[in-house]
Structure 1
Amino acid sequence: MCRFRPKTLFEEIRASIINNDEEDRSFWRPVLPWGGVFTIKAGRKAISCIPLYVEVQLKNTCTIDGFLMILYVILRDNQGFHRELAVFLGKQFVEHFLYLMDSCDYTTVKMLWIWNKMSKRQYRSEIHQAALEIDLFGNEHENFTENLENLMSTAQESSCSSCDCPGRFQNIRKTTINISPPHELPHKDPIQSAVDQFFRPKLLLCSELGCDGIREFSQRVFCHGPPPFVILNMQQWRSEDLSYVPYHLALCQHRYLLEGATLFNKEEHHYSAAFQIDGCWMHYDGLRSDNLILLNKPPELLLLSSLVYIRASDK
């Protein structure tokens, strides 16, 4: 007897792209909607006591929703990345995350991230009438990017020319890629130039107190080799700085391809996301009733919070 494997959420989305109706370009059901209510299932041991709360209410989840959506697409569209990401996020987490997304158990997906990857200091929580309210209002890079363990961890050594420097030799490690717009218009695209500036060797005046030496910085390198994907923190960039968003990025002698982006609406203090599947762009916004929409053309990436690139060799 043949058993048919149910389609994954990714396969359903891909099928909807192929069979899309020009008059209705939205996915047929909401995906990863904003917020959520997680019910606590009490066991036998809990019968004799009064629980502090019986459900968890999630608020302002857009600070993780867009990245969770992009992470899911990356994992489902790049089978070779599973093992690599499992090293940093944990094999059980990756498998459970994919299972929950394909089961459309979206609130549990968010709880999985909150309880497994976030520190309690990163969100506000309080109890209201037997419900624990978790509020994720804040910055998506603090709530998501900084919790990717050492996936994008880089190291850069530096030494000062002054023998009297109190911190002559240093090893600088960073777990995120936060790039700044160039001060002057570069010859090539500004984002590639900013990435090059982040990784290249440089000479600067030493910033140690009382030191007037010159500090030499080595080439910055990834601590664990080139990651399967990178997130560029674009919060310092204004729309006028973004004359061009490259679809290809050279990064530490590896080629990366644009996979998606997260967008920030300052007026609403709300994050959304855009990503590609088979060259077609989709926009995701957990607050909308039709929250996953196939776009007619690539989005105008002017309200950027981040750019997400995947390593090309495994695509």
Structure 2
Amino acid sequence: MERDFCCLTDTEDLRSFITHSERTKTLFEEIRASINNNAEGERWFWRPVLPWGGVFPIRAGRKAIASTPLYVQISLKNTCTIDGFLMLLYVILRDNRSFPRELAPFLGKRFVEHFLFLMDSCDYTTVKMLWIWDRMSKRQYRAEVNHAALEIDLFGNEHENFTKNLEDLMSSAQESWCSNGSCPTRFQEDQRKTISVNPPHELPDKDPIQSALDEFFCPRLEPCEESECDGLREFSLRLFCHGPPAFVILDMQMWRSEDLPYVPFHLELSEQRYSLEGATLFNRDEHHYSAAFQIDGFWMHYDGLRSDNLVLLNKPPEFLLVSSLVYIRTTDR
């Protein structure tokens, strides 16, 4: 669902759009250039990107009080539950030219265009407000008025605040039939909007993440779980409802560090090849999310709480407290 928030109607927005149109580089291009021209000892991007929190002023208009512009503000707190994914989404869209068009049916064309424009304009608080007002429901965050300002607190879970708001991008369905003709639910259809893979009970011979995905998507035969039913339930191949998505997010919250001896850089999924683009990481002690992603083979770590919040890494990050893995579709078979 698209909202009027995506429109550029304000004079300041229009002036900002014109200024941005005259720029020679997008934010992504600036980050890429900083990586390729990186000097030893200078391991971070030259300016903060998507800082934690934010203050969003709202102008009520000149007719509000005695022809004087009235400003109120919205204060954002605990935004790390969306910050890392917003950074990853931007990198994915800018690094893959066909993906903005592919995501338009799910997120809305105006949303995608405005999101990219705001990120390239470094208007980071407005980026967050765009996601909150256009994508999220009010039950997904806490809002209260404090000293004549509205506070929006996004403390919680990033999958609730981001992944589940990607509409039907990753929707999949799997049918099953029970061999027992008297089974009360002989035919069933399991529909999912996210990809939550459970760690294996035993360490498999091949990659554990690929094995978990195969178990989630592939056909199988299991005893029926209906009460007093002794039939066998046959599960069909799980299929994406709208074709293989441009990118997939694997919910890894149930995995322990010992379940992940390594993170695969490539996955086979729905007869497509997907490559690792990034991850979100969770610090249990601070209840804080950060993110890592790669550009041109170089890994960067993003943490909105740091002053230098986009740091070039010497090696891929250690995925010890991984919350999500993000893979992009790379080839069609």
TM > 0.5 fold call: yes
The equivalent of 1:19 in structure 2 is 37
Distance in 2 (CA, whole Å) between partners of 1:4 and 1:112 is 23
Distance in 1 (CA, whole Å) between partners of 2:225 and 2:196 is 20
* Residue pair 1:57, 1:131 contacting (<8 A) in 2 also: yes
The equivalent of 1:221 in structure 2 is 239
Distance in 1 (CA, whole Å) between partners of 2:223 and 2:153 is 43
The equivalent of 2:275 in structure 1 is 257
The equivalent of 1:84 in structure 2 is 102
- Unmatched runs of 5 consecutive residues or more in structure 1: none
- Structure 2 counterpart of 1:261, one-letter code: A
Identity of aligned residues (%): 76
- Structure 1 counterpart of 2:173, one-letter code: A
Asked if residue 152 in structure 1 is aligned to residue 170 in structure 2, the reply is: yes
Please give the residue correspondences for 1:198-237 in structure 2 after superposition, counting only pairs within 5 Å: 198-237=216-255
- Structure 2 counterpart of 1:39, one-letter code: P
The equivalent of 1:123 in structure 2 is 141
> How many Å apart are 1:53 and its aligned residue?
8.3
Please give the residue correspondences for 1:132-211 in structure 2 after superposition, counting only pairs within 5 Å: 132-211=150-229
Asked if residue 55 in structure 1 is aligned to residue 70 in structure 2, the reply is: no
* Residue pair 1:82, 1:94 contacting (<8 A) in 2 also: yes
* Residue pair 1:53, 1:132 contacting (<8 A) in 2 also: no
Asked if residue 270 in structure 1 is aligned to residue 288 in structure 2, the reply is: yes
The equivalent of 1:73 in structure 2 is 91
RMSD: 1.9
The equivalent of 2:11 in structure 1 is none
Q: What are the superposed Cα offsets for residues 194-221 of structure 1, whole Å, 9 maximum, x if unpaired?
A: 1111101112222233433222111101
**Structure 1 188/52 Cα, relative in aligned 2: closer, same or farther at 3 Å?**
farther
> How many Å apart are 1:247 and its aligned residue?
0.6
- Unmatched runs of 5 consecutive residues or more in structure 2: 1-20
* Residue pair 2:180, 2:229 contacting (<8 A) in 1 also: yes
Distance in 2 (CA, whole Å) between partners of 1:122 and 1:33 is 21
* Residue pair 1:53, 1:131 contacting (<8 A) in 2 also: no
Distance in 1 (CA, whole Å) between partners of 2:48 and 2:326 is 23
* Residue pair 2:60, 2:70 contacting (<8 A) in 1 also: no
**Structure 1 166/245 Cα, relative in aligned 2: closer, same or farther at 3 Å?**
same
The equivalent of 1:284 in structure 2 is 302
> How many Å apart are 1:44 and its aligned residue?
3.8
TM-score by length of 1: 0.95
Asked if residue 239 in structure 1 is aligned to residue 257 in structure 2, the reply is: yes
> How many Å apart are 1:4 and its aligned residue?
5.5
The equivalent of 1:96 in structure 2 is 114
TM-score by length of 2: 0.90
* SS of the residue 1:46 aligns to: coil
* Residue pair 2:64, 2:70 contacting (<8 A) in 1 also: no
